[in-house]
Amino acid sequence: MSKLVLITHPEVYIDPVVPITEWGLSATGRKRATEFASNEVLSKVAQIWTSGERKARETGEILAAPRTLPVIYHLGLGENDRSATGYLPPDDFEAAADAFFAQPEMSYRGWETAVEAQIRIHRAVTEIVHMHGTGDLAIVTHGAVGTLLWCALSDCSIDRKYDQPSQGHFWQADISTLKPVSHWISFA
């Protein structure tokens, strides 16, 4: 059975004056991604796709290096669009994320809604899976959309209780059915 491995980028360097989509991995994030690159769960990966955001691209490149695989980008794999607010301090961001999940059909201060983001990520992953050949497929994306996708594929309502506890996690699904066979698992 081939599997889909849905991966979120690990820790990033947060710079309030840099657009969120251009934040890169922190030293801790790079170290964790490098260590995860040798994890057995990735041993049969034949393709790696990432969102176009820098932190996901960097993670994908680190994971691809030991396998000499190319990294393929898909804009539909991006995090929920929160450019309307840009950077929010940690407490404000957590409150915003709570609202995003609690009211999935409403926009938080101009953000893409959870329902819209869920439809987008589901469409992108389905498209990628249909193009995929043999072997396992790794997709590097982001926590909120990874959670929204897990909810859709698990027939669960959108709820933050299914969110990853921190950055740098993965879950797996049977690639033929896209039914998740795990919930979030930490890199280490």
pLDDT tens profile 105-162: 999 999 999 999 999 999 999 999 999 999 999 999 999 999 999 999 999 999 999 9
Res 136: pLDDT: 98
Mean of pLDDT values over 76-80: 98
Partners of 172 in beta bridges: 5
How much of the chain, in percent, has pLDDT values that exceed 70? 100
Q: Are 52 and 140 within 8 A, CB to CB?
A: no
| DSSP-assigned beta bridge partners for residue 136 | 45
pLDDT at residue number 188? 81
Condensed to tens digits (0 to 9), the pLDDT of residues 9-29 reads: 999 999 999 999 999 999 999
Reported pTM: 0.97
Q: Which residues contact 156 (CB under 8 A, 6 or more apart)?
A: 150, 162
State the average pLDDT for the chain.
97
Assess whether pLDDT exceeds 90 at residue 169. yes
Instruction: Read off the pLDDT band of 56 (50, 70, 90).
Output: very high
Q: What distance in Å separates the CA atoms of residue 105 and residue 86, rounded to the nearest whole number?
A: 20
